[in-house]
C-alpha cells in the first residue's frame, strides 16, 4: 500500500501511473452515471410505482437535490478526513441507495432512495481533488483533464445505457446492475488507492463556515464558478430540449435515433485531456476563450439550415459535439485554476465550484423547457447563445481586473 500523503508536506508523488489515472477516470464516470440513469426512465418508473404524473419530475429532481446538498456538506470533508476511506464510504452509501431504489414499489421509498443516490454520488467530486493532490504540479492539469474525461463519458453514456438495460429487462435491473458495479468499484478503489490524511485539524462546523469566507475572498473561484454556471446552463438547456426537438414533427426521430444523437456528444469528452495539457502549458486564458466561444458557436450552427433537413440534423449533431467540447474545456481549466489556490483547500473549493455550476445547470434545464414550449427551438437556442455570451463578457473583464490589481 502506498504510504500516506499529507497536504502538510510539500512533496508529491513522482506522478500518477497511467493505470491509476485510468482507474480514477473510470470511477468518476461510473459513479456520475448514477445521477442520470433515471432521466429517460422517469415516465415508466412513475407509472410503475404509482407516482402521479404531475410529480414525475421529482424522480430526477430529488437526485439532483441530494447531489447539491452533498457538494456543499460532504465534499468539503476531503479537507478533513482520510480520503480513501471517505470515497469508499460514499460509494457504499450509493450502493445501498441503488438497491433500495431497485426494490421500491411505492413512491416514498423510491424518492428517498433517489435523494440518497445523489448524496452518495458526490464521491466523484472527492476523487477529482484527490487526483489533483496526488499529481505533481507540472502535470496537474493533465491529470485532472484525464480524470474528468471519464466523468464526461459517464454522464453522456448513462442515458442510452439505462434505456438499453431497461429495454432488455426492466427499470429495476438498471439499479441492480449499477449496484453490482459499485460493489466491484469500491472494492478495487479500497485496494488500489493510496491513503491521504489531510493536515487540517478543525471541527466540521468550522470547515463548513470557512466555505463562505472562501467564496467571498477568492476572485478566481468567483470568476470560474460564474463562467461554468453559464456554460453548464447552456449544456443542460441543449440536452433538455434537443430530445424534444428531434422527436417533434420537424425531425420525427424515434427513441433509437435520439439515443444515437446523444452518443455523438460523447466525442466532446476528448476536450478534457486537451484542456488539461493546455492548462499545464500556461494557456488557460486562450483555452477558456475557445471553450466559451465554442458553446456560443454551437447554438449559432443550428440556425443555418432549414429545420428538419438532413443538413440541419448534421449541423445539430456537430453542434452537440462542439458544445460538449467547449463546456468540458472550461470545466477542466476552471478546476485547474481553483486547485492552484491551495492544496489544503481543494475539496472545499471543488465543492463550492461544483455546487454553483450545478445550480446553473438546473436553471438551464428549466429555461430550456419553458423556452421550447413558448417559442420552439429558435427561442431555446437564442437563450442558449446568450448564456456563454454572458460568460464571455465577464471573461473580457478579467485582464482589466488583473491590471487594476497590479497598479494597487
* DSSP classification of residue 135: S
pLDDT tens string, the chain, 408 residues long: the values are 333 333 333 233 445 788 899 999 999 999 999 998 988 788 889 999 999 877 887 888 899 889 999 999 999 999 999 999 999 999 999 999 999 999 999 999 999 999 999 999 999 999 988 988 888 877 888 888 888 888 888 887 887 888 889 889 999 999 999 999 999 999 999 999 999 888 777 889 999 999 999 999 999 999 999 999 999 999 989 988 888 898 889 899 887 787 788 777 777 777 888 888 888 888 999 999 999 999 999 999 999 998 989 999 999 999 999 998 999 899 989 988 998 898 888 999 999 999 998 889 888 888 888 899 899 999 999 999 999 999 999 999 986 655 454 454
* Architecture of the CATH domain 210-408: Up-down Bundle (1.20)
Does residue 284 come out as left (phi exceeding 0), alpha (psi in the -120 to 50 range) or beta? alpha
Separation between Cα atoms, residue 71 and residue 354, nearest integer Å: 7
Calculate the alpha carbon distances from 380 to 21, 130, 171 in Å. 38, 37, 31
Helix (H/G/I), strand (E/B), else coil: 25? helix
C-alpha cell at position 353: 465550484
Separation between Cα atoms, residue 132 and residue 23, nearest integer Å: 14
- Per-residue confidence (pLDDT) for residue 58, from 0 to 100: 85
Helix (H/G/I), strand (E/B), else coil: 153? helix
Domain segments of the chain as ranges: 14-201, 210-408
**What pLDDT digit, counting tens, does each position of 274-306 carry?**
888 888 888 999 999 999 999 999 999 999 998
Same fold, 14-201 and 210-408: yes
Separation between Cα atoms, residue 319 and residue 148, nearest integer Å: 21
Bridge-partner residues for 5, per DSSP?
196
Q: What homologous superfamily is domain 14-201 in, according to CATH?
A: MFS general substrate transporter like domains (1.20.1250.20)
Does residue 50 come out as left (phi exceeding 0), alpha (psi in the -120 to 50 range) or beta? left
Buried b (16+ CB within 10 A) or exposed e, 264-300: bbbbbbbbbbbbbbbbbeeebeebbbbbbebbbbbbe
Percent of the chain that is helix, strand, coil (3-state, to 5): 85, 0, 15
**What pLDDT digit, counting tens, does each position of 113-168 carry?**
999 999 999 999 999 889 888 888 778 888 888 888 888 888 878 878 888 898 89
Amino acid at each position: 500500500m502506498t504510504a500516506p500523503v499529507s497536504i502538510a508536506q510539500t512533496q508529491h508523488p513522482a506522478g500518477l501511473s497511467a493505470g491509476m489515472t485510468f482507474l480514477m477516470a473510470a470511477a468518476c464516470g461510473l459513479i456520475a452515471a448514477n445521477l442520470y440513469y433515471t432521466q429517460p426512465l422517469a415516465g415508466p418508473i412513475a407509472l410503475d410505482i404509482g407516482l402521479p404524473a404531475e410529480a414525475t419530475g421529482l424522480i430526477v429532481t430529488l437526485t439532483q437535490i441530494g447531489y447539491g446538498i452533498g457538494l456543499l456538506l460532504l465534499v468539503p470533508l476531503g479537507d478533513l478526513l482520510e480520503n480513501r476511506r471517505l470515497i469508499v464510504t460514499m460509494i457504499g452509501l450509493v450502493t445501498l441507495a441503488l438497491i433500495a431504489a431497485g426494490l421500491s414499489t411505492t413512491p416514498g421509498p423510491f424518492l428517498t432512495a433517489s435523494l440518497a443516490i445523489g448524496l452518495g454520488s458526490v464521491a466523484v467530486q472527492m476523487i477529482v481533488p484527490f487526483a489533483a493532490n496526488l499529481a505533481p504540479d507540472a502535470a496537474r492539469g493533465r491529470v485532472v483533464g484525464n480524470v474528468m474525461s471519464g466523468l464526461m463519458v459517464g454522464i453522456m453514456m448513462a442515458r442510452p445505457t439505462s434505456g438499453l438495460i431497461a429495454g432488455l429487462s426492466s427499470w429495476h435491473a438498471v439499479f441492480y446492475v449499477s449496484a453490482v458495479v459499485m460493489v466491484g468499484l469500491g472494492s478495487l478503489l479500497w485496494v488500489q488507492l493510496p491513503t491521504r490524511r489531510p493536515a487540517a485539524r478543525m471541527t466540521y462546523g468550522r470547515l463548513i463556515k470557512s466555505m463562505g469566507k472562501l467564496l467571498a475572498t477568492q476572485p478566481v473561484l468567483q470568476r470560474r464558478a460564474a463562467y461554468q454556471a453559464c456554460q453548464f446552463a447552456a449544456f443542460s438547456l441543449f440536452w433538455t430540449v434537443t430530445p424534444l426537438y428531434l422527436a417533434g414533427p420537424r425531425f420525427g426521430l424515434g427513441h433509437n435515433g435520439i439515443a444515437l444523437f446523444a452518443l455523438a456528444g460523447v466525442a466532446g469528452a476528448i476536450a478534457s485531456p486537451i484542456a488539461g495539457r493546455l492548462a499545464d502549458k500556461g494557456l488557460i486564458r486562450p483555452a477558456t476563450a475557445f471553450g466559451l466561444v465554442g458553446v456560443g458557436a454551437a447554438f449559432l450552427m443550428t440556425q443555418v439550415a432549414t429545420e428538419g433537413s438532413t443538413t440541419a440534423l448534421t449541423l445539430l449533431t456537430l453542434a452537440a459535439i462542439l458544445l460538449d467540447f467547449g463546456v468540458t474545456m472550461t470545466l477542466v481549466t476552471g478546476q485547474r485554476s481553483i486547485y492552484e489556490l491551495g492544496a489544503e483547500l481543494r475539496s472545499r473549493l471543488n465543492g463550492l465550484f461544483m455546487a454553483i455550476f450545478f445550480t446553473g445547470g438546473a436553471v438551464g434545464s428549466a429555461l430550456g423547457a419553458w423556452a421550447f414550449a413558448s417559442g420552439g427551438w429558435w427561442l431555446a437556442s437564442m437563450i442558449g447563445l446568450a448564456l456563454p455570451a454572458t460568460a464571455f463578457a465577464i471573461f473580457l473583464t478579467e485582464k482589466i481586473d488583473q491590471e487594476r490589481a497590479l497598479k494597487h
